[in-house]
Structure 1
Amino acid sequence: MTAKEKFGVMLKYIRFSTRKGENKTLIEIRTGEDCRLDAVIESVSYPFFECAYSLTAEHGEEWLLRIADLHMENWKEVYMPSDTMPDADAENWEVAYCEQDEKEKKSVGRGAYPDNWKEFLKIMDEIVPTSIPGQINKITLEYKRNVRFTQKNEEGTQNETVNWDYKEEMILDRYEETLTIRQVIAPGRELTKEYHMRDEIPELMDKCMEYLGKLESASGPKESESAEFKLCLECGASASRVVTGTYNRRGLPEGWDAFIREIAGYIRFYESYEDILNPYIYRRGRRQGEQIICSVIFHEKGERHPYRTEDEDLEVGDKVLVQAGPYKQELPGKIVSIDYYQKSDLPEEFGDIGEILKKIEE
């Protein structure tokens, strides 16, 4: 199916303008013969893109098909936040398009958008970046080092030298809103972790842009025994950039440390012991007939003392008030573990078990 058949009638033009503060961009794309696209761009944000140029019929048809799949005829005429007034610095935008023998259709908005707005921006971004100057849409970092060791065989046979390429890959995708980290530890042994965080990944990429904007491959000889890296930056309408080198201070570009720390800090924020693997979660809950026994210490690395409680909401780390010593003096302590015992299964070394008087609220 051709783009013309997809539309039913041929798209004459589409005009997209956006303004946020002093940043303004106007893109007008007109359809020529056989789906060739002629684009005119005026931009305060991207003066280096101010030009007029064409997309070939082949690329134009593909682009038109993707625009048609957005079904902009279903867009409302006006988009505004439903619950609050727009912020003073909210983005103003307008999209107008016209098909052959039809009137112009227009949608406008301020700080609110159609549901498929991100897909629309992704398509328009192939003509010119639509939000931040020099916007990076995808970051791909590949890392590789050779692992080699001698494997000792049975006595009387020659030892074997084993080597393979250990690989890592990190991908940040603005439009998918994902951060993916993949490790190829050895043949047939791979680990993949993906962070899908709405709005956060684009913000993280924006922070990284100040470090990545001027990266260049470091000069110097290639070090055959060192790990290597390849960084690919996909920047919408501008050509993708590739930076390569040796993964050490001699081979990495200036600003690399700040870039990696930005990513590592984000990942560290979400690092946690998964609930399904956390014994403090799955070991909680008293069964019928069980007693709750908390191990309490009175100073760090001190001796543990068992205390009974009926409070099922107590957690490891809570501070509690208990009686201790021959005179039953009330002392504060900290719970370091919680266990459950049937009365008949209580260890003899527990002896006389005291009661937790109460939790100490911080």
Structure 2
Amino acid sequence: MKRLEKIQAFANRWLTVLTGDEWPSVSTVVASLMQECQQLHFNHPDSSQFIGVTFTNEELKNKVAAIEDLELLGTLIDSQLRDLEIESSDWLRLALNKMEQLAKEAQGLFHGQIQTIKLISNNFGYGVMPKADEEIEQQLTINAHGQISLFAYNGFNKLLRFSKWKISQAAVQQLFQVFTEYFSHALPDIFVTDVGNWDLEIQNTQAETFYFSGSLFPQSVVLDFDLSYYIREILKRADLFIFDGQAVFNPINRITVAYQRKEQLLEAPDYGQMYQEELIIDRESGGIYYAQSLGDYYETTHRYIAKYAISSLLHFFGTQELFQKVLGDPPDVIPDLTVTRQYQIQINFADGSKQQISGDFDQNGLPQDWEEFISEAALLMNDFNLTEIFNPAIYLKKKRTEKDFIFCSVVFKGNEKSYHYLTDDPTLVVGDWVKVPIRNQGEVTVGKIVAIDYFTEADAPFPINKIKKIIGKQIGS
């Protein structure tokens, strides 16, 4: 991470801590804040005016307002942290906020409030020249009033289509917030050859313009979620290249898969047992429906509702030209006379058209991309299977008593083995990162809590006096 990115991250992280509902202990805050600030090595010729001098909260606020140099601001913060008091820390919040803004400006990152966005996405890389009716470039403009225009061109700069529409003010705010969060932070420099590119122009309400560019492929912007898909959802348009080039001009609305297994007894040809499954992925309801049945013996149904995830999944499938190729059986195949497995698939598209396919449910009879399709569906369904009422780690857990000690199992990066530590902090939970002592030389490292148990001294797995204690939660992890 570059130094300016580190400074921005430092300011953002400590602003979050200091503006939270509850401060951690003052000693922990000051020690960690001083250590991280010193690691950034702020230096300025005029920093001597701050060293060894104590200022009031108001004096510090005035100095912060007057400083426009990032290094000088850093030296001011560093020099005053030792005397930091919670009751008079307004100056520090102002200083960190200004530090974050100055770091963004130094990196050319966006700041302010968005007035207009203009995005040009060109989906032509290298290779065969595009067809005359093939859409290659899109110019998308969005303003603060929710007015949107789209110009689409072929590879020879001929206008193929133009459209304009409007979204609600709430949608505009939602969209602009996402753009602000992305482009006010340092983004990875990912440029790929043989693909298209995008150029983004953002103008704020102060008439300042910020420029960004990148390669047009699925990982062109890497942060918490799929930015391109999220923008398509807000704009209610699947036919946009955005940052990944994954436009879908005829979206999939519904996929239905039916499966039957019939077992036949050779000695009783009139008797057969039918087992069936059905899978439906539906955009309108935002759901996955899965059913099983075995004749008249039993029937089960499962319903999973997750509109954003379902819509995203169907959009992904829409970019794949799904179920186009089936290998088929060789001419000398030997049929199984005892068991038959059949399937039927129907895909419903937004324009009302349908795609249907059926055959034997095996490697040669299924579409060649079946495994990718069903793996993606299973991955989403498995997210819903994190049950708690069946989980012994939850229903066997008991409340802590006054006699109990809190034991935390901690693991370290690159090591799956867990180690026991004691803590007096009842707010720690599984997944927290904590500072812990290691070895006997006073060394400290950071580990992750993977389990928490309560034991009395008599039931403890190790002697209490031989177990090290957690120093505290790692702030900012």
TM (norm. structure 2) is 0.38
Q: Which has the higher contact order (CA 8 A, sep 6+)?
A: 1
More helix per residue: 2
Larger radius of gyration: 1
More strand per residue: 1
TM (norm. structure 1) is 0.48
